[in-house]
Amino acid sequence: MPVQFVYGNKDFIKDVRVNTDNIAVLAYESRFDSAIQAGWTDRMERGVLRYLLTDLQTRILPGPCGFVAQLNVKRGMERRKPQEILSIQQNFNATQFNFNNVNPDEVVFEMIKESEEIGHQPYKTVVLVNVSPLEFGHCLFVPDPARCFPQVLTRLAIQVGIESVLLSSDPAFRVGFNSLGAFASVNHLHLHGYYLKHQLNIESMPVRPLLPEKGFYTLLGFPAGFLFYTESEGVKDVASVISRVTDFLMEAAVAHNVFMTRGCPPREEDDKLLRRGVRIAVWPRVACFGTKEESALNVALCELAGHLPFKNQTDYELATESHVVEIIQHYLFPHEEFLQLEKQLTQQLMMM
């Protein structure tokens, strides 16, 4: 019987802020962080992971984007071969690898959200170690795996992702999602969570308000995308808004990546060191189909957020901001198409 991590809204950490070095100004580790980190470390020490992850060679690329480049050769060499993806709306296939087939030792715990409404069943998310980790604590959050959801975001999955960030007292904890066609490797609904102890521009990037009453903004930095913001009291509402957006993208066959992190409020007058809320970036992007390529840099949730895991020493050492921008730009919508999508999404959300 897996260990259960039971939580409620009372467990959300609301008093997080960072100093200018992006170090959390907080004197304790949350119950969630303790469970994730202890469980992940235990599995690494017991050899459940495919390789021993030590401190990764890291450098910040010079330039305004502040890209965090890391060298992770073993992930590129030893990770499971990605599935062949032919459509953003591809059905779940029980004959392919899925998270119901994992080694039981990979299960860290089951997350159970206490129901606040009489008669409602608590929802369950299974947390697994990623056996080919990107960074320390890299886990997969799999909502009710026995229901065999394909890799399509649901409102509850979005809510679990945001709540996981709020349960952590460490602003280094990030959560993300790759749709099919956006470098998702497995067609079974899951999100990634991991710790990256380096500041990312997305945490404080300026925005342009679209529907601020619904927490909906456009990012004004690179790469172009949409931003949502919520604090603990508004999680359910903003998860519904984001779900409407990702549903629209699915229906339009638009691939997308999502990244959730502690971030400052989007209002310019607010303290840029505050991290009491969550920023959720959604990037519509050009789809990639077939078996996922094994290039030096695949553009998925990490890369769009500014975290660059490189697979070989040469590309890591020679990488420049201008070259990375050129690679990422190849996967983004042209400016006019992005503005048209922005208009369509704004109209959709105004009707909610």
**Nearest by Cα to 111 from 175, 196, 29:** 175
Whether residue 58 contacts residue 69, with contact meaning beta carbons closer than 8 Å, is answered with yes
DSSP secondary structure letter of residue 105: G
Domain boundaries, the chain: 4-350
CA distance 76 to 294: 8
Reduced to 3 DSSP states, what percent helix, strand and coil does the chain have, rounded to the nearest 5? 30, 25, 45
Per-residue pLDDT of the chain (352 residues; tens, 9 = 90+): 789 999 999 999 998 888 766 565 665 789 999 999 999 999 999 999 999 998 999 999 999 999 999 999 988 776 777 777 788 999 999 999 999 999 999 999 999 998 765 456 678 999 999 999 999 999 999 999 999 999 999 999 999 999 999 999 999 999 999 999 999 999 999 999 999 999 999 999 999 999 999 999 999 999 999 999 999 999 999 999 999 999 999 999 999 999 999 999 998 777 888 899 999 999 999 998 866 555 668 899 999 999 999 999 999 999 999 999 999 999 999 999 999 999 999 999 999 8
β pairing state of 307-310 and 68-71 = parallel
DSSP secondary structure letter of residue 18: B
CA distance 202 to 121: 35
Q: Residue 206 is encoded by which pair of tokens? A: 């300026």
CA distance 161 to 307: 19
Whether residue 339 contacts residue 228, with contact meaning beta carbons closer than 8 Å, is answered with no
Catalytic residue set: 190
What integer pLDDT is reported at residue 120 of this predicted model?
Answer: 60
CA distance 347 to 69: 38
Cβ neighbors of 285 (< 8 A, separation 6 or more) are: 182, 254, 255, 256, 257, 299, 304, 331, 332, 333
CA distance 223 to 240: 24
Instruction: Say which CATH class 4-350 falls into.
Output: alpha beta
